[in-house]
Structures are given as structure tokens and as C-alpha cells.
Amino acid sequence: MEIDELNKRIKECKKCRLSETRMNAICGEGNLNAKIMLIAQAPGEKENRAGKMFIGPSGKVLDELLNKAEIKRHEIYMTNLIKCMLPKYRKPKQDEIKACSYYLNEEIKLINPKILAPLGYYATCYIFQKYSILSPSKAEFSSIYGKLFLGGDKKILPLPHPATLLHNPDFKQDLIESYRKLQVLLKDCKWYPVCPMKRFYEEGKLDRKWIELYCKGDWESCIRYQMEEKGEFHPDWMLPDGTLDEKYIGRSGKNN
Ligand code: SF4
């Protein structure tokens, strides 16, 4: 299916009760070759009226966060887990998620982004379930925002929904930091060409997940990277999370 055909189906969809209260079902928007797909929960009131994504107060916050991350809207693809407004901003019901996520799954297939950034609790739970990643409890949920996960061939970066800032302006710096990770993920670590992790991976000694999560992912969080930047000694077999792989302790002690 092409994107135009999919969007036509979204606009005409009557698969769940939300079709009775919506004004517009909102299709995804943005770059069809995007590396990053943002997945919000559902449209708000302004979006529902105008039939466009992120034009209300959350959209303003999103623009500011993307701006700080030096990412332009036209570089990414944005969509919702639920395509129609939830009456009085109530929580989505499981049967609504089940019915509507068909469209999101098709969008992921068509756009094929490398990075999925679900915004907020429901979008993140859905994406984690889809890619068989264990969700944390609701109480611990905020701890995963801004952290990178791997699911199949996708990198998954859960982010707080921009609307968080409308209710809790004190979290602004935290949100800026989390969204800035999107920019980090677009580039590989500058040390990768000379890093022992590359060599060990190519020799088949190191699991690919380390390369994807750190060297070609969130290299800023890599302990090796941080120590390299400070000129601090670290053994070849120190893994990116700072642990030593005991199989190799004692075999080498050189810096990068
Ligand atoms: S292990 Fe760390 S320092 Fe080495 S290339 Fe990967 S991210 Fe960079």
C-alpha cells in the first residue's frame, strides 16, 4: 500500500467509537524518507479541528524542543498511535489501540525509519510491546525517557510527551536533554573508527547490541567515550557501559 492510500483509509476510518466524536482523523506528516519517526498519543482539540498534526499548544512546545535539538520538522515523520481525538482527553482504551495501531504499523513499514521515538506512556507501551521489550512499571516509567533500546532493526528512544511541559514547566531542562538525544543518534561516535569495540565486533567477539546502542547510537552515554574525552585510561576490554568483560581481563591493558 502507498502512503496516499493509507492516509485515505485513515481519513475514512470507522473501526472504533472515536470516529463518532472526531472532526478529523489525523494522518501522519513529514518526510517520507525520515530516519526518525515521532509517535505521539492522539490529536488534541486544535489538531482535531484543523486536520493537522501538532498545531496546538503541544506543537509549540515540540517545535521548541526540536529547535534545541537542531532538528527540523521537515526532516522527521510525525504520527499518532490513535488517529482521532480522545473525548475530553481521556485515556485510550485497549480496543481503540488495537483497532488504530494497524495504521501505525503500516506507517512504520512504509517509512521504515531507523529511529522510533514514542512520546509518552501509551505510545511507548505500544512500541515496547510490538518489539518485545519489557515495559517498566508505571511508577518507574519516567526513568526510561531519553534512554535507547533496540527492537529488531529499530532504535527506540522513548521521550516525554511535549504536553508534559504545559503542566510541569519545571521539567523543561529534562525534556531538552531527552530530545537532544535525537541529534546524538543521527551521528556515529567520532572514536568508532579507532575504537577497540569496532575491532572486537568485526572479529566476532562482541555482540552487535553494543555497537548499535552506543557506537552507532547513544555514544554520549558511553563510559569509554566519556573517559576518552577526558584523556583517562581505560582498558581495551572495558565495555561501553563501563563494565569489564571478565573473559578478557588481564589480556590487554592498552588505551584506545
Ligand atoms: S565504544 Fe564508546 S568510545 Fe568506542 S566507538 Fe563506541 S561509543 Fe565510541
Kindly report, residue by residue over 109-148, the tens digit of the pLDDT.
Answer: 999 999 999 999 999 999 999 999 999 998 999 999 999 9
Give the pLDDT confidence score for residue 124 in this predicted structure: 97
Strand order in the sheet with 149-151: 29-30, 77-80, 36-40, 115-118, 154-156, 149-151
Q: Which atom of ligand 1 is nearest to the CA of 211?
A: 6
| 192 alpha carbon – ligand 1 mean position (Å) | 5
User: Across all residues in the chain, what is the average pLDDT?
Assistant: 94
Give the pLDDT confidence score for residue 252 in this predicted structure: 45
Q: What is the pTM of this model?
A: 0.92
Q: CA 57 from chain center: how many Å? A: 21
Which tens digit of pLDDT belongs to each residue from 161-207?
999 999 999 999 999 999 999 999 999 999 999 999 999 999 999 99
Looking at the DSSP bridge assignments, the partners of residue 117 are: 38
Give the pLDDT confidence score for residue 1 in this predicted structure: 78
Instruction: Tell the residue nearest (CA) to atom 7 of ligand 1.
Output: 215
| 113 alpha carbon – ligand 1 mean position (Å) | 23
Instruction: Tell the residue nearest (CA) to atom 6 of ligand 1.
Output: 215
| 218 alpha carbon – ligand 1 mean position (Å) | 9
Residue 118 phi, psi dihedral angles, 5° rounding = -75, 135
Give the pLDDT confidence score for residue 255 in this predicted structure: 40
Q: What is the average pLDDT across 101-106?
A: 98
Q: Which atom of ligand 1 is nearest to the CA of 222?
A: 2
On the question of pLDDT at 12 being above 60, the answer is yes
Please identify which residue in the block is written with the cell numbers 571478565. 246
**Confidence bin at 253 (pLDDT 50/70/90):** very low
Quote the CA–CA distance of 143 and 52 in Å, as a whole number.
31
172-206 core/surface letters (b: 16 or more CB in 10 A; e: else): eebbeebbbbbebbeeebebbeebbbbebbeeeeb
**Confidence bin at 247 (pLDDT 50/70/90):** confident
| 240 alpha carbon – ligand 1 mean position (Å) | 6
Give the pLDDT confidence score for residue 248 in this predicted structure: 61
Give the pLDDT confidence score for residue 245 in this predicted structure: 78
| 39 alpha carbon – ligand 1 mean position (Å) | 28
Site residues for ligand 1, CB cut-off 6 Å = 189, 191-192, 195, 197, 214-215, 219, 222, 224-225, 228, 240
